[in-house]
Amino acid sequence: MVNAHDLLWGMTPAHVPADAPAWVLEAVASGHPVVVRRAMAEPGHVPVGVRGRLREQRYAAQMPLAAVQRRVIPEDLCGVVSPRDLPALRALDLLRPVLAQEAWGVTGSAGFELASGIQALHAQSDLDLILRTSERLERGDAEDLLAILNTAPCAVDLQLQTPFGAVALREWASGSRRVLLKTASGAHLVQDPWQAVA
């Protein structure tokens, strides 16, 4: 069972559509991992995103599950320390003790770099995190957590992963009556991210 934000190794140029940009083939041929996307896929396949060197280089594809050779989940990266000195990595150091009792993980550029050793972060990078919240996170607790994240040396984008999708902590803490829940079938405006989308 693979989940959104997992990193997978094993995709080859043979799995890439013929009309894909050259940089996609280059990334896949170099053995870079691909990231699992929130989307539907054909049976026996997993929806993935290929990252290029540039921020705008993101390509949606599908990978056969049988091709997966290695999988790294966001939680595997909580304790990985990088020798590089960047705001996103300093933010990670700061937040580790704060999140120590939680089920959390590192995603985005930081997760990609920590898992693969391929430099993906720069001085302006945000830190992307995921917090597994099988039980409802009360809005007051979300506000308290957001206040801590806001002290970090870079912007921190934390997604709350509920049993039904993901919602941005910042949005849930904002007090909005309806928030955007990202699911495999698309994004939905909901009042309660811990309830199944009708």
* CATH of the domain spanning 7-72: 2.30.30
Please state the length of the chain. Answer: 198
Q: Are 130 and 158 contacting, i.e. CB atoms less than 8 angstroms apart?
A: yes
Kindly report the average pLDDT of the chain as a whole number: 95
pTM above 0.75, yes or no: yes
Write down the domain spans for the chain: 7-72, 74-190
pLDDT tens-digit profile of 65-76?
Answer: 999 999 999 999
- What's the token pair of residue 34? 């691909």
Instruction: Determine the pLDDT at residue 175.
Output: 87
pLDDT tens-digit profile of 11-37?
Answer: 999 999 999 999 999 999 999 999 999
- The β-bridge relationship of strands 127-132 and 156-162 is parallel
* Active-site residue list: 126, 128
The 10 Å Cβ neighbour count of residue 51 is: 23
Residue 53 confidence (pLDDT) above 90: no
Q: Are 88 and 110 contacting, i.e. CB atoms less than 8 angstroms apart?
A: yes
